[in-house]
Structures are given as structure tokens and as C-alpha cells.
Amino acid sequence: MAGLTLSMLVVVAGVLADVISPGDPFRTVADPLLAPSSKHLMGTDNLGRDVFDAVIHGARTSMVVVTGVVVIASLIGLTVGIVAGYRGGWVDDLLMRITELFQSVPRFFLVLLIVALFGAGLDNLIYVLALTSWPTLARVSRAEVLSVRDRDYVEAARSIGATDRRILLRHVLPNVLPTAMVIIALTGSRIILLEASLAFLGLGDPTVMSWGYLVSNAQRFLRVAWWMSVFPGLAIAVAVLGINLMSDALNDVLAAYSKGATKRVRRRRRRPSLSPQLPLA
């Protein structure tokens, strides 16, 4: 519940940013370096911009990046992992070598290089982060498929003529998704930190407000305006902590469900048969 509450705060702030803080977050609204007050809840920065408005609109930027990256990376990772695990053979070898190639390249420095070469637009950032975030999900999905593809219910479906597509959608994918959801949630928290790190280094999109940009801008004023760095830093911490708590809780729930399902199967196997006994001749 704590993770869900923290995550919902960030999501609501991002979705309702124009309602909570209407207007341009880059506009000057008051004198510079004003301390937090009832009029400006998080104070103002060195240019007289409201820090509260900037933090709220920074939440929208983070949510847009996380959503785009997670959707693209999930599609690539699940597709590669499921196909590699289900097909096996040379297909598995080829896809896993490609996955290892992406894993062997330092992701942060690759992102730095591509953003520096092709620009710091939000769309470029999403594509780059997505193309470097799928390998872990692919390997985990492949491992789950390998543990499922030869089980009795899959063999039974195959024996009655079920197509590969039906087996994947009805029997394999539902068993892969629970574990994949945990990896996807952890990927989201890492993306928030990566996006903030790039904006901190000046490689974020300059046309949108970002938490990393706010923290970077606050470096010169740490002694005279603590609020400029504290509130954006707290926003990053809340977002990452909320997602991590949700992923831990999801992992615990899935583990308990799996254990309960195993116990139910064992009870069924020990249950005596209720079929009528024919009298002996």
C-alpha cells in the first residue's frame, strides 16, 4: 500500500500537471530565491520560477519517459525471450547472442553518446533508453518459457492439435507475465534515475521541465536556497521508492500464489478417487 500510494501520487501529479499547476513552468512568477511559503509552497529558484510548478511538470516528463520506454522495452524483451525459449535451437542461440551483445555495452555511456550525436529530444531519449532496457526482461522471460514449455498441460494442448500461437497465448504467456511484471517495474525505477541523470548532465530535452534539470540548476545555490535541490530530490526518491516497493510486494504476492497453487495440486493428487467401483464377478 505504501508503494502504491507513493506511485499514485507521482502518476496523479503527472496526469493532472496542467490542472494542479497551470501555465508554463519556465515562467517567472516572483522574486528569485524566495523561501517556501503559503504562496509558493516550495519557494522560487534563482530566476524567480515556482519550484512547486516545476516539480509537478517534472513528474509529467518522468511519466512520459517511463511509459514510453517500458512499453517499447516490454514488447521487445517479451518477444525475444518467448521466441528464444519456445523455439530453442539456433533461434535461441542467435537471439541470446544478440541479447548478450546489448548487455555487454555500458548502457549509460551508450545513451550519452547517442543523445550527444542525435540530439536531446524527448522522443530520442525514449527510443534510446528502450533499446537498451530490454535484455534483462528477455533473459528472464526465456528462463520462464524454458520451465513451462515441456510441462504436462503444454504437451496435452500440443497433443490435441493446438497451434503454437494458441499454446503461447493461453499456456505460456500467462505463466511468464507475473515474473515479467516484476522486472518491468524495476526497469521503470531505473529509467527515472537514468532520465534524471541525463538531464542533470545537460543532455535532457531543454524544452520540457525535468527533475534532473532542477537538481543540476540548484548546485550553485545549495548554501542559500536549500529548497531548490531538496524538493526535486525528494520527488525522485518518492517515485523510485514507490515503484521498488510495488515490485517487492508484487514479487511476494506471486510467490505466495505460486506456493498456494502447488499445495492445491498436491491435495488434488492425494484426494481419493470418487469413481464408482464395479463389483467383482
Of the pLDDT bands very low, low, confident and very high (cuts 50, 70, 90), residue 3 is confident
Contacts of 126 (CB under 8 A, 6+ apart): 64, 65, 68, 69, 72
Q: Is pLDDT at 275 greater than 50 in this prediction?
A: no
- Count of CB atoms situated within 10 Å of the CB of 104: 8
Please report which helix (H) or strand (E) contains residue 15, including its range: helix 2-15
Cell numbers of 191, please? 529509467
pTM: 0.82
Gyration radius (Cα) of the chain, Å: 25
Length of the chain: 281
Cα separation, 204 vs 207, whole angstroms: 9
**Annotation: CATH topology of 2-20+47-260:** MetI-like fold (1.10.3720)
Of the pLDDT bands very low, low, confident and very high (cuts 50, 70, 90), residue 255 is low
Residue 236's pLDDT is: 94
Contacts of 243 (CB under 8 A, 6+ apart): 3, 7, 185, 186, 188, 189, 192
Domain definitions of the chain by residue range: 2-20+47-260
Cell numbers of 254, please? 506471486
pLDDT tens, position by position, 5-16: 988 999 998 899
Q: What is the dihedral of CA 9, 11, 16, 18, to 10 degrees?
A: 110
**What's the average model confidence in pLDDT over 147-156?**
83
The answer to whether the beta carbons of residues 2 and 243 sit under 8 Å apart is: no
Cα separation, 37 vs 40, whole angstroms: 5
- Count of CB atoms situated within 10 Å of the CB of 56: 22
50 three-state secondary structure:
strand
Cell numbers of 164, please? 503454437
The answer to whether the beta carbons of residues 82 and 137 sit under 8 Å apart is: no
